[in-house]
């Protein structure tokens, strides 16, 4: 399966910005990218207009299907807009609850 990528530019981080593993806290006009490989999602952030990507804190996360990865990307966009040292949300799930044995 080929990787899928979602990118959203011009996301203005709320007060407190977005926390990264390498670049500290980023604020201002950001671009977010989620790459899904069929099993997990990697989320990165950069200042819009630049080329250097940073791993958003909490990435990667398990992500079993494409729909969930799209929802995860939107949840990340919403979290960064809210600020407060945004990280990748720990659990975003769509569809019916998973069955347990």
Residue 100 falls within a domain, yes or no? no
Residue 60 falls within a domain, yes or no? yes
* pLDDT one-digit tens code per residue, 67-97: 999 999 999 999 999 999 999 987 654 444 4
Residue 93 falls within a domain, yes or no? no
> 73 is in which domain, residue-wise?
4-82
pLDDT at 43: 97
Top pLDDT among 8 and 96 is at 8
Residue 11 falls within a domain, yes or no? yes
pLDDT at 66: 93
By the 8 A CB rule, do 72 and 93 touch? no
* pLDDT one-digit tens code per residue, 25-61: 999 999 999 999 999 999 999 999 999 999 999 999 9
Q: In whole numbers, what is the pLDDT of the chain averaged over residues? A: 89
pLDDT at 94: 44
Number of domains in the chain: 1
């Amino acid at each position: 399966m080929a990787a899928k990528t979602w990118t959203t530019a011009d996301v203005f981080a709320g007060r407190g910005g977005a926390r990264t593993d390498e670049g500290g806290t980023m604020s201002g006009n950001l671009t977010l990218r989620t790459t899904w490989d069929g099993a997990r999602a990697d989320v990165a952030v950069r200042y819009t207009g630049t080329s250097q990507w940073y791993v958003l804190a909490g990435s990667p996360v398990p992500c079993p299907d494409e729909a969930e990865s799209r929802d995860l990307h939107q949840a990340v966009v919403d979290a960064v807009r809210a600020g407060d040292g945004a990280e990748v949300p720990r659990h975003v799930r769509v569809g019916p609850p998973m069955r347990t044995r």
